[in-house]
């Protein structure tokens, strides 16, 4: 059977809805695909850019091995230079031994940053031994993934075996201060390569450093105030970290104060209710920690306190944070105090006769430091009414010092250079405890005249007014000399009288080897000079007790001299010295490209 005709209205409507939904799904699917494609493309682009940037930075890295050698103990020593245009972070050192089967390698983690054009010497810091006569492949790996390799030894390194570059410029064999400066000491530690250390004369200006002679003068007829230790440590011509300490002393008067909260509970009496943690009364923190009682004649104690930092005769009061839950005023806590740490204590007052929480204060009068440090308290509940809960939350003692700290010391020179163009009293304070300054004065014959004040650590340089005779006396006195509640002290490394005239340029710079192979048949000091100043530059060797000259003047290029008679231990010290050391009004400089010891048999 068949039938013909048109779809009904309802069927046509349903078909239209289905079609619309289908089209909407197609559109949403397309939009989703588009969005996903855009996000993927964006992520890909960002990743690609990051990889390109990494490749860009990696391509700018270049590390060259400026020198590879072994020390007398066959320890690896390298100098590397960043010849790229990007900072290099070296994170691994790999030493490969290809002479054995299977090939072995050592990996050593590094953390070395090398700026462009920077050279780093004496790598690595840890000891890596390469047996004499053996070779290794040495690789440096950077954080960006570059690997730079060097085969040791090369023919050049074999030829230069036994070349030991200078290690340090911090030696002080003769205990005299350096004169002049280095521009780049590491320039001497490799090469010659055109990277130089320029030695430049310093202006000593006819300097005279006259250290203080005496601490026993008494120009004003008054006794010293304070304590002084190791006066000899304030003498000398250079800083040495050995200090004289001067400290204020307590001369009496009003002073500072402090609160000492309860810090211990020994449970000798433990008859009250205890809440929280011992010592219960350390802080005002009710209801966390406190003690309470409702039973007549019960005791709680002993409670102790920290030692005081104050000195002198001390005024003391006792404050107790407490309350009584009825507030009638009949029940109370009686307070007993012992000042010896061994006695039974005596009644000093009562607290907690009020409903509200508050501090009750009991004046304990004047006491010694020992009595304050041994002071302890116990509490006893006294019941006179219906019996109500007495609570104690915090017990503390207030301490006020009657100290007045003062300082007054005299120091004297007896053979000064009193006719120089420039004259200064120079005092170096290495450390200061406190906030008070020191006034510096000089004795004018009948009274003290102020030169200035020491207000900080380090050097204080004051014009030496009144310096007209070989004997010169100064005074150090605190700037607060009445009602000074706080004790200051000063560590003084040097007290010197610095006098000088016109400019005088000098050079005196030491350098040193610390681990030299000193038992070879041939031992030579080799110095490669660059541009030389017009003044001669001398080189001396330290023989253990004195300087011995080995070069009367360095020239540009190679300078070599045999030093076997001085190289008798693993350490060797030389110095560079100007040829004109008096009345030299011209500042000279000299370029040193490389300095090493060449030792071989």
Distance CA 168, CA 47 (A): 48
Instruction: Average the pLDDT over 106-115 and give the result.
Output: 92
Residue range 252-282, pLDDT digits in tens: 765 678 999 999 999 999 999 999 999 999 9
Which of these ranges, 98-102, 107-111, 371-375, has the smallest mean pLDDT?
Answer: 98-102
**Structural contact between residues 166 and 511, judged by C-beta atoms closer than 8 angstroms:** yes
Residue range 484-524, pLDDT digits in tens: 878 999 999 999 999 887 788 999 999 999 999 998 989 99
Of residues 449, 453, 443, 444, the one with CA closest to residue 412 = 443
Distance CA 204, CA 193 (A): 32
What are the residue boundaries of the structural domains of the chain, listed by start?
A: 11-59, 63-153, 165-203+504-600, 208-252+405-500, 257-401
At residue 45, the pLDDT reads 63
**Structural contact between residues 596 and 165, judged by C-beta atoms closer than 8 angstroms:** yes
- The gap between the terminal CA atoms of the chain, to the nearest Å, is 123
What DSSP element (H or E) covers 312?
A: none
Options 2.60.40.10, 3.30.300.30, 3.40.50.2300, 1.10.10.10; CATH of 63-153: 2.60.40.10
Calculate the CA dihedral of residues 23, 25, 27, 28 and round it to 10 degrees: 160
Residue showing tokens 């700018």 = 60
Distance CA 476, CA 171 (A): 35
Options 3.20.20.60, 3.30.465.10, 3.40.50.970, 2.60.120.380; CATH of 208-252+405-500: 2.60.120.380
At residue 359, the pLDDT reads 97
CB neighbour class for 72 (10 Å; exposed up to 12, middle 13-18, buried from 19) = middle
What dotted CATH number matches 165-203+504-600?
A: 2.60.120
pTM: 0.35
At residue 3, the pLDDT reads 37
SS3 586: coil
pLDDT > 90 in the chain, percent: 63
Reported as a pLDDT band with limits 50, 70 and 90, residue 6 is very low
Q: Which residue has the higher pLDDT, 440 or 421?
A: 440
Residue range 185-228, pLDDT digits in tens: 999 999 898 999 999 999 887 678 899 999 999 999 999 999 99
What dotted CATH number matches 257-401?
A: 2.60.120.200
Which of these ranges, 114-128, 167-181, 295-309, 543-557, has the smallest mean pLDDT?
Answer: 114-128
Fold equal for 63-153 and 257-401:
no
Rg (CA), the chain: 42
Q: Which two tokens stand for residue 540?
A: 């001396």
Q: Which two tokens stand for residue 93?
A: 């050192």
Distance CA 125, CA 93 (A): 11
Q: Which of 6-10, 210-214, 399-403 has the highest mean pLDDT?
A: 210-214
pLDDT > 70 in the chain, percent: 88
- Pairing of β 208-211 and β 489-500: antiparallel
At residue 255, the pLDDT reads 67
At residue 21, the pLDDT reads 58
* pLDDT surpasses 80 at 40: no
* pLDDT surpasses 60 at 7: no
Q: Which residue has the higher pLDDT, 183 or 12?
A: 183
* pLDDT surpasses 80 at 154: no
At residue 45's C-alpha, the angle toward residues 40 and 48, to 5°, is: 125
Residue range 121-150, pLDDT digits in tens: 778 878 888 887 688 899 999 999 899 999
Q: Which two tokens stand for residue 539?
A: 């080189």
Reported as a pLDDT band with limits 50, 70 and 90, residue 17 is low
Which of these ranges, 145-159, 198-212, 442-456, has the smallest mean pLDDT?
Answer: 145-159
Q: Which of 193-197, 355-359, 472-476 has the highest mean pLDDT?
A: 472-476
**For 259, left (φ over 0), alpha (ψ -120 to 50), or beta?**
beta
């Amino acid at each position: 059977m068949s039938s013909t005709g048109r779809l009904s209205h309802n069927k046509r409507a349903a078909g239209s809805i289905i079609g619309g939904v289908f089209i909407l799904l197609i559109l949403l699917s397309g939009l989703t695909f588009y969005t996903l494609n855009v996000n993927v493309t964006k992520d890909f682009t960002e990743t690609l850019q990051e990889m390109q940037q990494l490749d860009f930075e990696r391509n700018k890295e270049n590390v060259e091995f400026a020198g590879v050698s072994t020390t007398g103990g066959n320890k690896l020593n390298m100098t590397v230079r960043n010849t790229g245009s990007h900072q290099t972070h070296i994170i691994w050192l790999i030493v490969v031994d290809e002479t054995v089967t299977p090939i072995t390698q050592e990996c050593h983690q590094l953390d070395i940053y090398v700026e462009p054009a920077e050279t780093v010497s004496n790598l690595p810091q840890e000891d890596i031994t390469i047996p004499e006569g053996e070779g290794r492949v040495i690789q440096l790996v950077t954080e960006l993934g570059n690997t730079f390799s060097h085969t040791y030894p090369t023919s050049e390194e074999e030829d230069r075996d036994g070349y030991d570059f200078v290690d340090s410029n911090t030696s002080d064999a003769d205990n005299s201060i350096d004169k002049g400066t280095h521009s780049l000491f590491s320039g001497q530690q490799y090469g010659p390569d055109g990277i130089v250390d320029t030695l430049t004369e310093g202006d000593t200006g006819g300097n005279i450093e006259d250290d203080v002679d005496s601490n026993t003068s008494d120009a004003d007829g008054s006794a010293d105030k304070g304590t002084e230790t190791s006066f000899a440590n304030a003498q000398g011509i250079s800083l040495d970290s050995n200090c004289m300490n001067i400290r204020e002393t307590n001369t009496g008067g009003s002073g500072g104060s402090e609160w000492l909260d309860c810090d211990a509970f020994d449970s000798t009496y433990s008859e009250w209710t205890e809440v929280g943690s011992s010592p219960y009364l350390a802080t005002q923190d009710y209801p966390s920690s406190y003690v309470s009682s409702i039973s007549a004649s019960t005791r709680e104690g002993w409670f102790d306190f920290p030692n005081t930092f104050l000195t002198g005769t001390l005024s003391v009061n006792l404050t107790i944070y407490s309350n009584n839950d009825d507030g009638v005023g009949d029940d109370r806590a009686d307070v007993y105090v012992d000042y010896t740490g061994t006695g039974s204590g005596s009644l000093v007052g009562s607290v907690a006769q009020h409903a509200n929480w508050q501090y009750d204060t009991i004046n304990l009068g004047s006491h010694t430091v020992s009595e304050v440090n041994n002071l302890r308290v116990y509490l006893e509940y006294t019941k006179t009414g219906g019996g109500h809960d007495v609570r104690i939350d915090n017990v503390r003692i207030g301490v006020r010092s009657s100290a007045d700290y003062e300082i007054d010391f005299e120091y004297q020179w007896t053979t000064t250079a009193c006719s120089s163009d420039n004259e200064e009293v120079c005092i170096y304070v290495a450390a200061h405890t406190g906030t008070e300054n020191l006034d510096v004065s000089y004795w004018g014959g009948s009274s003290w005249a102020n030169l200035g004040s020491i207000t900080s650590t380090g050097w204080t340089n004051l014009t030496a007014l009144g310096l007209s005779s070989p004997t010169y006396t100064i005074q150090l006195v605190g700037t607060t000399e009445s009602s000074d509640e706080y004790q200051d002290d000063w560590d003084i490394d040097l007290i010197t009288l610095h006098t000088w005239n016109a400019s005088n340029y000098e050079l005196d710079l030491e350098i040193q080897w610390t681990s030299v192979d000193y038992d070879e048949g041939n031992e030579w000091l080799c110095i490669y000079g660059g541009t030389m100043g017009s003044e001669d530059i001398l080189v001396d060797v330290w023989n253990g007790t004195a300087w011995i000259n080995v070069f009367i003047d360095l020239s540009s290029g190679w300078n070599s001299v045999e030093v076997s008679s001085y190289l008798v231990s693993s350490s060797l010290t030389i110095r560079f010295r100007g040829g004109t050391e008096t009345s030299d009004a011209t500042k000279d400089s000299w370029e040193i490209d490389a300095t090493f010891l060449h030792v071989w048999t």
